[in-house]
Amino acid sequence: MFLAWERLCTLSCRPKFLKTVWASKILGLSTSAGEDSNPGWGTKIPPATQHGKKMSLRFKNAKRIEGLDSNIWIEFTKLAADPSVVNLGQGLPDISPPVYVKEELSKIAAIDNLNQYTRGFGHPSLVKALSCLYEKFYHNKINPNEEILVTVGAYGSLFNAIQGLIDEGDEVIVIVPFFDCYESMVRMAGATPVFVPLRCKPVDGKKCSSSDWTLDPQELASKFNSKTKAIILNTPHNPLGKVYTKEELQVIADLCIKYDTLCISDEVYEWLVYTGNKHFKIATFPGMWERTITIGSAGKTFSVTGWKLGWSIGPKHLIKHLQTVQQNTVYTCATPLQEALAQAFWIDIKRMDDPECYFNSLPKELEVKRDRMVHLLESVGLKSIVPDGGYFIIADVSMLDVDLLDMKDSNEPYDYKFVKWMIKNKKLSAIPVSAFCNAETKSQFEKFVRFCFIKKDSTLDAAEEIIKAWSRQNS
């Protein structure tokens, strides 16, 4: 009905008045009273300027977003949205957050003054909690007001860091595979991503692990030059699950210092590190604090991805630029969620050595799930790369030699087609790893798909059933 009016209105002048009246009739409100009359404003609008004007080319997007419109998640979450599909795709826990986290938020929802604006750069009790927690790792006081910024998820921290510190013409080193937004955010800032892949050097006889994937130090060094503004580091790594060793980080640190480069260290999975591995913060390495922004995530720390709270920690002279971006983008983050997060942190900060502390209990819980996934994938002939951290596992699907001829769009990389086939035919979803690659390296990774295992047992049971049936089919 409204569309018809719309079309009518573009054809002639008269319906304009009728349309306004129609709208007010719907409201049941009378037309306004007490309006000022100023002779200038009574002037009739010249008909030539009205209606019928075609949509303009000038409504084109700003150049900064040219080519950035497609997004893997939009596409694959839609496909996996079918409730009959067992979703091991998007990195979203279907387990409940810890009880005390939910309880804190419930309590806070009843507190009146937490429904209004809080401090733009971070709710005071939250930045204080973050400062208290992270001081333990940085062996130094962290100024909660000047060296911490609370953002809309770690995603928001990445955005603030890149918008604040990366300029047009800068180069930014991105390690492949990479969380897909690194490339698009760098491009949106007008800078050039320079890619360097992790390469696999498996040891014969040993199970393939994420630690087998390393950077070639010479190859890495060759990517640095005077235009290199920053390198983006992600440890533990998505999608591989690699936890960079001290030595590997030292190589990166040395290069950052040599080339006077910044380091944006995405450490959202910092607590999810499995037996035999340790998470190192590159910002604690000599010469690195002053050039590193370290990013964390409430979503990944407390299994509350929907809270969309993250933080950046770094020296004042860098954080202040992220704060400038903040005051010109979202200004402040949600108050009640920040307060609840602060309370949750205080609970766990007090018991960091306790197995009950979520920072200890979650990785224990996930390690079991990880091992289950490895075993499961093996049973159907999928060779997986055992992750040392994070909550994803990637598997080589090429050996299954699945007939994908019925998948249209043969321009897509193998793993895209495989995942779509698997969603359709096996009702199991994953994410193609080439989505985490730039155009040139997609072929190196297109035989891998990524499974998320921060899922409740019943989800993994359902995945197990599918995989077992699949393997029976194959044998």
Partner 1 sequence: MFRNTTAICLHLVGPLRGKKSGASLTRCLHQTLTMAKRLQARRLDGIDHNPWVEFVQLASEEADVVNLGQGFPDFSPPEFAVEAFQHAVSGDFMLNQYTKAFGYPPLTKILASFFGKLLGQEIDPLKNVLVTVGAYGALFTAFQALVDEGDEVIIIEPFFDCYEPMTLMAGGRPVFVSLKPSPTQKGEPDSSSNWQLDPTELASKFTSRTKAFILNTPNNPLGKVFSKEELELVASLCQQHDVVCISDEVYQWMVFDGFQHISIASLPGMWERTLTIGSAGKTFSVTGWKVGWVLGPDSLMKHLRTVHQNSVYHCATQGQAAVAQSFEREQLHFGRPSSYFVQLPQYIQRCRDHMIQSLQSMGFRPVTPQGSYFLITDISDFKNKMPDLPGAADEPYDRRFVKWMIKNKGLVAIPMSIFFSLPHQKFFDHYIRFCFVKDESTLRAMDQKLQKWKAELTP
Toward partner 1, which CB reaches closer, 163 or 434?
Answer: 163
Question: In whole angstroms, how close is the CB of 296 to partner 1 at the nearest point?
Answer: 16
Toward partner 1, which CB reaches closer, 158 or 397?
Answer: 158
Do 124 and 333 meet the contact criterion of CB atoms below 8 Å apart?
A: no
Toward partner 1, which CB reaches closer, 5 or 421?
Answer: 5
Tokens of 203: 């040891």
Give CA 203 to chain center in angstroms.
32
State the DSSP H helix or E strand holding residue 219, giving kind and residue range, or none if neither.
helix 217-223
For residue 320, the tally of other CB atoms under 10 A from its CB is 15
Question: In whole angstroms, how close is the CB of 471 to partner 1 at the nearest point?
Answer: 30
Question: In whole angstroms, how close is the CB of 405 to partner 1 at the nearest point?
Answer: 32
Toward partner 1, which CB reaches closer, 1 or 405?
Answer: 1
Question: In whole angstroms, how close is the CB of 400 to partner 1 at the nearest point?
Answer: 30
Q: How many residues does the chain have?
A: 475
Question: In whole angstroms, how close is the CB of 474 to partner 1 at the nearest point?
Answer: 34
Burial class (CB in 10 A: 0-12, 13-18, 19+), 323: buried
State the DSSP H helix or E strand holding residue 315, giving kind and residue range, or none if neither.
none
Question: In whole angstroms, how close is the CB of 206 to partner 1 at the nearest point?
Answer: 28
Question: In whole angstroms, how close is the CB of 229 to partner 1 at the nearest point?
Answer: 7
Q: Give me the half-sphere count of Cα atoms (radius 13 Å) on the Cβ side of residue 142.
A: 28
383-385: strand order across its sheet: 383-385, 392-396, 448-452, 431-432
Toward partner 1, which CB reaches closer, 302 or 445?
Answer: 302
Toward partner 1, which CB reaches closer, 176 or 341?
Answer: 341
Specify the residue for token string 């990944």.
300
Scored b (16 or more CB within 10 A) or e, 410-433 reads eebbbbbbbbbbbbeebbbbbbbb
Residues facing 384 on adjacent strands: 395
Specify the residue for token string 């009905």.
1
Question: In whole angstroms, how close is the CB of 459 to partner 1 at the nearest point?
Answer: 12
Toward partner 1, which CB reaches closer, 92 or 404?
Answer: 92
Residues facing 295 on adjacent strands: 266, 312
User: How far is residue 157's CA from residue 137's CA, in Å, rounded to a whole number?
Assistant: 20
Toward partner 1, which CB reaches closer, 330 or 357?
Answer: 330
